[in-house]
Structure 1
Amino acid sequence: MKMMRLWRQWMLCFMVMCFSAQAAADGWSTYKSRFMRDDGRIIDTANNNVSHTEGQGYGMLLAVANNDRATFDRLWQWTRTHLRNPQNDLFWWRYTPDASDPVADKNDAADGNVLIAWALQRAAQKWGGDYQQASDRIQRAVVKHTVISYAGYTVMLPGAQGFNKTSYVVLNPSYFLFTAWREFARHSHLRVWNSLIDDGMTLLGKMQFGKTGLPLDWVALNADGSLAPALGYSNRFSYDAIRVPLNIWWYDPQSLRLVPFQRVWQGYPRQSTPAWFDVLANTPAPYNMDGGLTAVRDLTLNETRYLTDQLTPQQNYFSASLQLLTWLAYQEKH
């Protein structure tokens, strides 16, 4: 009887693994067909089909996870051809097709830089080649141009230009990519990555605004170490900050930094959880989260039975990306 039970448990695990692998493959195939052009450009279908380093980085990460080297190489080739800034080894953050200058804004986005470097490092670990050298160059550039010490913290600015206001700096907590930073630290042994992790977690613990206790999409770190809503930005926990609990969970599923999100989302039925909150006005969005946003909620609340849901035809690029990344994070912990 004991052997029979063990056999059944093994078969169940085997079937779950097979189903999970098939679900991941189906999701990646659907994602490519809907959001990737033949030349390797990921399009943001909710923003006039622009492309940005965030999307290229997401696509490259997912390509590695799905062992799709041919697609990875197309994504990387397009990214370095069209977005690489030869002046500093970072990447222009947005590409607008059909514009006279598709990269008119010459600033970078720190999350996109890190995502691309992270994907390249993972590609090197899986396939070898010269991906690691490319990742190392980007990692060095990120540290040189966007990582600073401020108010007693080591922080990564959202971009090389425009976020250091002298009396305060603007931070985007969804750019705190803890798992990537940890993998960079393990490879390079540079202390700066661990400092970013430690100080990022400390800062998140203090980014609890309003009655919800949630972070804002954009936060100001003042010179005295205090935190406040960033001037000129919305007061919402919204489509930027929704990635914060995903980044925390991917790094440590047991982290106490997940508690504010769990506390808020547990107060709503799954199908009627507000898409965002105006944290300072203490008001929820007039519509509910779905797709990738709901996947982040499910992961955070350990309602993992929903994570293999298929992408739906109405999902845009961002929602689909979040859903597949959430599944990837879950798979890497199980």
Structure 2
Amino acid sequence: MWQRYKTLIVAIFALIFSHHALADGAWDSYKSRFLMPDGRIVDTGNKSVSHTEGQGFAMMMAVLNDDRDSFDKIWGWTRTTLKNPENGLFYWRYNPVEAQPITDKNNATDGDTFIAWALLKAGEKWSDKDYLNESDAITKALVAHNVIRFAGYQVMLPGAKGFNLNSYVNLNPSYFIFPAWQDFANRSHLMVWRDLINDGQKLLGKMQFGNPQLPSDWVSLYSDGRTVPAKQWPARFSYDAIRVPLYVYWFNHNSPQLQVYKTWWGRFARDKTPAWVNVTTGDPAPYMMDGGLLAVRDLVLQPASAAQPQITAQEDYYSASLKMLVGLSTK
């Protein structure tokens, strides 16, 4: 009898350790592909530039993989190189081959949000008040420079400059990072974060365009409350908006707002799902989902079978990042 129990215990531990090995292996693969020795994350699909999105993603991955050394390296480069001393936010893009690597002094609120969120998680995980104070300073700056009330909604602009056009504002719904906003609300007890969550969800309900009934990557909110695909970008549910259902799921695994994505993707066999769709015309992409896009689809349609991420040698930065974020959203 004891031998049978011993065999069972060994099998259970083997399963546990193999699960962790997969997770750790994915993070190791990600670092080996995209993390430079100085802490810069390289976007291999975009001429090896870096941006706050990638820095923030990787900081969160490091925290949830309990890798403080990598976290400090990534945060150190981000703070030293990208922090804007004038407003406490971060320059959104760094191009290493330019004589002046930072030409656009604007921020991107998805990157800022992930950086602040990762610092909050790091402070809690490793009991470090410095991380928590840095996170608080960034969230305070976000509220001061990027959050406005418009058309009766509390909204977070995608950047401090260029998105408020008076009669309308341009929004990026993939910057509605609900689980981060929830953690900021829990820490600060400020109503602004709860208002962003509630109004962001209301706005997503209005951003269901055309036959697909999906949000476009960029959306204009007019002063009368209308929402339309922003004219400055293609009217597509594409590589930005793919993160909308990811963050909705991360916030609430059972959110009714996931239904529109289930309905759209449920029309297609897994290997015949278009990579994007024009929400105005209904025209699909001429190529199919793969890599990280498929990982998000699988998360929404079959969350119970979501596998640990596998980062391939051919995978570009964004596809690998989506896979890693899908894995984090289930933890």
TM range (shorter): over 0.9
Q: Residue 124 in 1 paired to residue 123 in 2?
A: yes
Alignment partner, residue 266 of structure 1: 266
Alignment partner, residue 187 of structure 1: 187
In 2: Cα distance, 1:280 partner to 1:320 partner:
29
Alignment partner, residue 312 of structure 2: 312
Task: Say if 1:299 and 1:307, in contact at 8 Å, map to a contact too.
Answer: no
SS in 1 for 2:100: coil
Alignment partner, residue 95 of structure 2: 96
In 2: Cα distance, 1:14 partner to 1:270 partner:
33
In 1: Cα distance, 2:191 partner to 2:15 partner:
39
Task: Say if 2:26 and 2:309, in contact at 8 Å, map to a contact too.
Answer: no
SS in 2 for 1:125: helix
- Worse-matched range after superposition: 270-279 or 303-312: 303-312
Cα shift at 1:325: 0.7
Alignment partner, residue 288 of structure 1: 288
Q: Deviations over 1:126-151 (max 9, x none)?
A: 11221000000000000000000000
SS in 2 for 1:297: helix
Task: Say if 1:44 and 1:316, in contact at 8 Å, map to a contact too.
Answer: yes
Alignment partner, residue 64 of structure 1: 63
- Worse-matched range after superposition: 160-169 or 294-303: 294-303
Letter in 1 for 2:255: S
Alignment partner, residue 170 of structure 2: 170
1:80-229 alignment runs, 5 A limit: 80-129=79-128, 130-229=130-229
Task: Say if 2:158 and 2:171, in contact at 8 Å, map to a contact too.
Answer: yes
SS in 1 for 2:86: coil
SS in 2 for 1:113: helix
- Worse-matched range after superposition: 312-321 or 10-19: 10-19
Letter in 2 for 1:324: M
Cα shift at 1:310: 1.6
With the length of structure 2 as denominator, give the TM-score of the two structures: 0.95
Task: Say if 2:23 and 2:309, in contact at 8 Å, map to a contact too.
Answer: no
Cα shift at 1:17: 3.7
In 1: Cα distance, 2:289 partner to 2:132 partner:
37
Q: Residue 51 in 1 paired to residue 50 in 2?
A: yes
Letter in 1 for 2:217: D
Letter in 2 for 1:31: Y
In 2: Cα distance, 1:297 partner to 1:175 partner:
19
In 2: Cα distance, 1:12 partner to 1:267 partner:
40
Letter in 1 for 2:97: D
Task: Say if 1:298 and 1:307, in contact at 8 Å, map to a contact too.
Answer: no
In 2: Cα distance, 1:163 partner to 1:243 partner:
20
Q: Deviations over 1:268-302 (max 9, x none)?
A: 11112111111111011111111111110000012
In 1: Cα distance, 2:136 partner to 2:88 partner:
10
SS in 2 for 1:154: strand
Gaps of 5+ in 1: none
Pick closer, same or farther for the CA change 1:37–1:232 going to 2, 3 Å: same
Task: Say if 2:110 and 2:177, in contact at 8 Å, map to a contact too.
Answer: yes
SS in 2 for 1:149: strand
**Which runs of 4 or more aligned residues in structure 1 lie more than 4 Å from their structure 2 counterparts after TM superposition?**
10-16
In 2: Cα distance, 1:315 partner to 1:224 partner:
43
With the length of structure 1 as denominator, give the TM-score of the two structures: 0.94
SS in 1 for 2:221: strand
Pick closer, same or farther for the CA change 1:21–1:142 going to 2, 3 Å: same
Task: Say if 1:242 and 1:296, in contact at 8 Å, map to a contact too.
Answer: yes
Task: Say if 1:272 and 1:289, in contact at 8 Å, map to a contact too.
Answer: yes
Task: Say if 1:298 and 1:304, in contact at 8 Å, map to a contact too.
Answer: no
Q: Deviations over 1:216-239 (max 9, x none)?
A: 000000000110111211110000
Alignment partner, residue 78 of structure 1: 77
Cα shift at 1:307: 2.1
Task: Say if 2:106 and 2:161, in contact at 8 Å, map to a contact too.
Answer: yes
Cα shift at 1:117: 0.2
Q: Residue 276 in 1 paired to residue 276 in 2?
A: yes
Letter in 2 for 1:247: Y
The number of residue pairs the alignment matches comes to 327
Alignment partner, residue 322 of structure 1: 322
